[in-house]
Amino acid sequence: MSKLVFIRHGQSEWNLKNLFTGWVDVNLSEQGEQEAKEAGRKLKEAGIEFDQAYTSVLTRAIKTLHFALEESGQLWIPEEKSWRLNERHYGALQGKNKKAAAEKYGDEQVHIWRRSYDVLPPLLDANDEGSAANDRRYANLDPRIVPGGENLKVTLERVIPFWEDKIAPDLLAGKNVIVAAHGNSLRALTKYIEQISDEDIMNVEMATGQPVVYDLDDKLNIVKKEKL
């Protein structure tokens, strides 16, 4: 039986400022660092040992992984970063204050953009200075797949190939895997492995810095799920 652990990154500096973050690379806040370390202590107390770690290419997730692994005495394990585990891209909303956006567009519209499964936010033009197309970490990607904005459905579509190519084969080989990523990339994976409906996923929240542990059988069916 394999274990799969999801950890949403700890509070980021932009979480603290109530800004839409998405693919913008921001650091953890002081609270976020403590949340990540506490996640590692919980993993150590639970006696969970990992064989492989995965994270995104964004600092807040990478540091969360490293803090958690260091606290659990497992900083040495193999690690891989992928843009496919990035947070959902919030398009032209990135960098905007959530309260100000609600005042401009209305609470209901902003709620739909944030929580719906298949409604896109206002898109960010590829020529915008804030576009990921200008970021060196995505230089090897086909420019046509660098998003200008995503909903959860699109996020799921880019996360699943990574699940199929990397995470699932590790689990099927009997490895224990930790994934430190983001609220929406983890919601997408949660939707997939738990077979949550498009409607019900709107009510699923991923708490910052809280490990979610799955015990999976040899066909990747969930035997047990718990939050540490």
Determine whether 33 is an active site residue.
no
Question: Do residues 23 and 86 touch, judged by C-beta distance below 8 A?
Answer: yes
Concatenated DSSP letters of 1-66: -EEEEEEEPPPBHHHHTTB--TTS--PBPHHHHHHHHHHHHHHHHHT---SEEEE-SSHHHHHHHH
List, in order, residues 6 or more apart from 228 with CB less than 8 Å away: 39, 42, 43, 45, 46, 210, 211, 212, 213
The one catalytic residue in 9, 33, 71, 182 is: 9
HSE value, Cβ hemisphere, 13 Å, CA-based, for 170: 21
| Strand partners of residue 213 | 5, 226
The one catalytic residue in 33, 35, 87, 150 is: 87
Determine whether 87 is an active site residue.
yes
Cite the active site residues.
Answer: 9, 87
